Amino acid sequence: MKTNYSAQRELVYEVLAGTVTHPTAEWVWERCREKMPAISKATVYRNLAALVRHGRAIEVVGTFGSSHFDARVYPHNHMVCSECGVVEDSFPSKELSLALEHEVENRGYTGYGLTFNGVCEKCRAKQQDNLR
């Protein structure tokens, strides 16, 4: 599928690909404004949606329905913290990955992505500290 090139879209992708976190559209917009002050929030949202649609980014639904974005489109999963909202990459065991790939292929699908929900290590540590 052909995509229309735009300087704004390339900037949005550059910002997204330049972070190891899973930023929100708001975060991407703030970073884009550092290089292109006139870029609107709507333009960033529209271009993130286009990047997802064209397979150049992944959208991960985070805590309370917030959208986070990831330029790493190779097969991997995500963990979402219900306390602080952080989204982290997750790479399950080889056995689980093979079972999931087998299920996808047997059903005629082209891919999968899992989102695990729970409490991250930092928040668990804070909870433990609060109990002391």
Q: Which helix (H) or strand (E) holds 80?
A: strand 77-81
Average pLDDT over residues 68-93: 92
**Considering the entire predicted model, what is its pTM?**
0.83
Q: Which residues, 6+ apart, have CB-to-CB distance to 92 below 8 Å?
A: 77, 100, 114
Residue pointed to by tokens 């219900």: 82
Phi and psi torsions of 106, nearest 5°: -65, -30
Q: What are the pLDDT digits (tens) for 41-66?
A: 999 999 999 999 999 999 999 888 89
What domains, with CATH codes, occur in the chain?
A: 1-73 (1.10.10.10), 74-132 (3.30.1490.190)
